[in-house]
Amino acid sequence: MADDKKWVKVCRTDEIEVDDVYGSEIEGSSYAVYRLKDRYYATEGLCTHEQAKLCLGYLDGTIIECPKHNARFDITTGRALRKPAVKDLKTYAVKEENGLLYIGLPITG
C-alpha cells in the first residue's frame, strides 16, 4: 500500500528536550511536536478553544495544558480532557530519520 502521507521535516531531534514541546509553522498551519523520552508525538499546534499556541503550554507526561485557559489534551490521541476545550486536537504520525523529525500530513488535492 502506498504511503498516504506527505512527510514534512519539522526539526532536528536535538532541538526538542525530553518532556518538552516544539512549535512549528508549516504551509500556513501550526503544529506541535512533543518528546517523551525517546518517543515523539505531533498534534495541531493551536488549542481548539481559542487558538493559543500549545508549544507555550505545560507538558505533564502525555497531557499538554493550554497556556491561555488551562484546557488539557492527551497528546497521544488528541482527546480534549478539560474544559473550556471540548473539540479534540488532530494528531499526526511522527518519524525519525538520521536525527531529523518528520510529521505525516494528509495529502490534499
Indicate if the pLDDT at residue 107 is higher than 60.
yes
Beta bridge partners of 12: 100
8 Å CB contact between 29 and 44 = yes
pLDDT in tens, 76-101: 999 999 999 999 999 999 999 999 99
Tell me what the mean pLDDT of segment 6-14 comes to: 96
DSSP letter string over 38-77? TEEEEEESB-TTT--BGGGSEEETTEEE-TTT--EEETTT
pTM: 0.92
Q: How far is the C-alpha of 15 from the C-alpha of 71, rounded, in Å?
A: 26
Reported as a single tens digit per residue, the pLDDT across 54-76 is: 999 999 999 999 999 999 999 99
Write down the architecture of domain 5-106 according to CATH.
3-layer Sandwich (2.102)
Every domain of the chain and the residues it spans: 5-106
Instruction: Give me the pLDDT at residue 109, please.
Output: 62
